[in-house]
Amino acid sequence: MAKRKRKRNVLNIPPSDPPVRPGMIGLSRQVPASIPKPPYAETGDPGPSISSLVRTPAELDAMRRAGAIAAEVLIHAGKFVEPGITTDKIDEIVHNETIRRGAYPSPLNYRGFRKSVCTSVNEVICHGIPDSRPLADGDIINIDVTVFYDGVHGDNSCTFLVGDVDEHSRKLVAETYVSMMEGIKTVRPGSKVHDIGRAIERHARKHNLGVVREFIGHGVGTEFHSDLQIPHYYDPRAKTVLEEGMTFTVEPMLTLGDPSLYLWEDEWTALTQDGRRSAQFEHTLVVTDSGFELLTVASDGTTAAELYAPVPEAAG
């Protein structure tokens, strides 16, 4: 993952008050033996990436099914986002709905991650571990749902508003979604990976938002993370030419302030150094013969962002 940082406060907005603090983390949830599991489910070690970057037709059919489940689980979780619910309860809801659909929650024991979903609140950029902290009126929360089904993964996330949210945070959430879609719209056979990041960064700069560089999009399919890397900023070295059948995520993380970050002692939870808020959206997609197809879409054609986030109508 890229390590280059840009230290600058892009907006004069105070940090979240009170700041997010670690809560109590409960036990990992159990998955029935009848549900097929990814190779790392027992050991926590996914091993080296050996997957092709291009999916077969059969794998793509499976990814459409896995993507629909991931999208529908995320939509289901969104129904419960309100002041007072704990992020651990959201983990329970996501876990149970994933199991009900015959899928495995991909984050569970991936490199030792203890929970079934990532919940990132306010200044938490990503990989927040669900715990005992209740959501408060005015929070924002990214819920990142990935499921393993029929031998492949479907990965998506949405940033939700909790109660009455301030205008700066609403704009951050809305423009983060738009930046994701601007990047996705560049995807077609023959385009390059850096076209995605250039479009995202251009939109973020237009709205004076920071772009997190340490975490990037990735190839996804039979593996949770394959070798294909998708920066959300312009990197001229990202010259990989997109081919029909490639599957990957686009998942920009934008900030109201300096995007520099630090990790909690759990070595997962990433937060902005200046305490200002961050938002993220994510889709899994495939390169088609004429452009792209979103794979993390519910069976009825909807997405969590369209239902719950302050998304400009023209952005979809």
pLDDT value of position 16: 82
What is the model's pTM?
Answer: 0.95
Tell me how far CA of residue 187 lies from CA of 60, 190, 306, in angstroms.
Answer: 17, 9, 21
Phi (first) and psi of residue 66, to 5 degrees: -65, -40
Comparing 6 with 251, the larger pLDDT belongs to: 251
* In the chain, where the domains are located: 51-311
Average pLDDT of 119-124? 98
| Token output for 69 | 């489940």
Q: In what order do the strands lie in the sheet with 283-287?
A: 226-230, 217-219, 247-250, 283-287, 292-294
Instruction: Give 53-68 pLDDT, tens digit per residue.
Output: 999 999 999 999 999 9
Cβ neighbors of 26 (< 8 A, separation 6 or more) are: 88, 130, 131, 132
| Token output for 10 | 């892009």
Query: Predicted confidence band at 114 (pLDDT cuts at 50, 70, 90)?
Result: very high
pLDDT value of position 11: 63
Instruction: Give 136-162 pLDDT, tens digit per residue.
Output: 999 999 999 999 999 999 999 999 999
Tell the residue number behind the tokens 């070690």, with chain if given. Answer: 45
Topology of domain 51-311 in CATH is Creatine Amidinohydrolase (3.90.230)
**Mean per-residue pLDDT of the chain:** 94
Sign of CA dihedral 105, 111, 115, 120: negative
Q: CB of 212 within 8 A of CB of 261?
A: yes
> Is residue 315 pLDDT above 60, yes or no?
no
How far apart CA 180 and CA 215 sit, in angstroms, is: 14
pLDDT above 70 covers a percentage of the chain that reads 95
DSSP string, 129-161: PP-SPBP-TT-EEEEEEEEEETTEEEEEEEEEE
